[in-house]
Amino acid sequence: MPPPIPNSRFDAPRILLVEPGRSAMGVLARRLGEAGYRVAAAESAQSAVAELHRFPVDLVLAELSMPLMSGTELTRLIRDDSGMRDLPVILISARSDRTGTVRALEAGADDVVVKPFHHEILLARIARLLTRARALKELRADNAALDARVVTRALQLGDMRAALAESESERTRLAGSVRNT
């Protein structure tokens, strides 16, 4: 299922594509662009980390096996960063590697796609993860707003209690004055 078409190109979700192979990167970037996504590209996990700190992205799509730093290690870095912890990550495996897939999922990858794959299936998985990420972001915003309302109500309640205590004290003082007269 394709993602909903955004109002403008600037509203489109931004995907960070991490692929050391230029031809594979070109094909994936073109397909993602045709599907309406904005694509940022990185040829290594190290450059992906730099890109993640430069501009926000909505999803990371990375190769599982890369030189120097694997997609699994990249996923661990993302999960260890409190600002990116909930960022959806899909890793692409060049072969059916159960051990690598298990390690990737244990590291926090949301999905592992094995090559060769159908682009329509990959796009459906991306759309599903982006929908879930949006819902999580909205839930966190709603919780923050609710927390703010609770704090405001608690402060108001405290003010009302103080006013009630002051009123009760004044009533007691007046009652004592009336008895003494």
pLDDT of amino acid 7? 47
pLDDT at position 154: 85
pLDDT at position 160, please?
86
Pairing of strands 14-18, 38-42: parallel
Examine the pLDDT at 50 and tell me if it is beyond 50: yes
The token duo for 172 is: 């007691």
pLDDT tens per residue, range 55-70: 999 999 999 989 899 9
**Model pLDDT, residue 8:** 54
Q: Is the pTM of this model over 0.85?
A: no
Least confident of 39-48, 73-82, 89-98, 120-129: 89-98
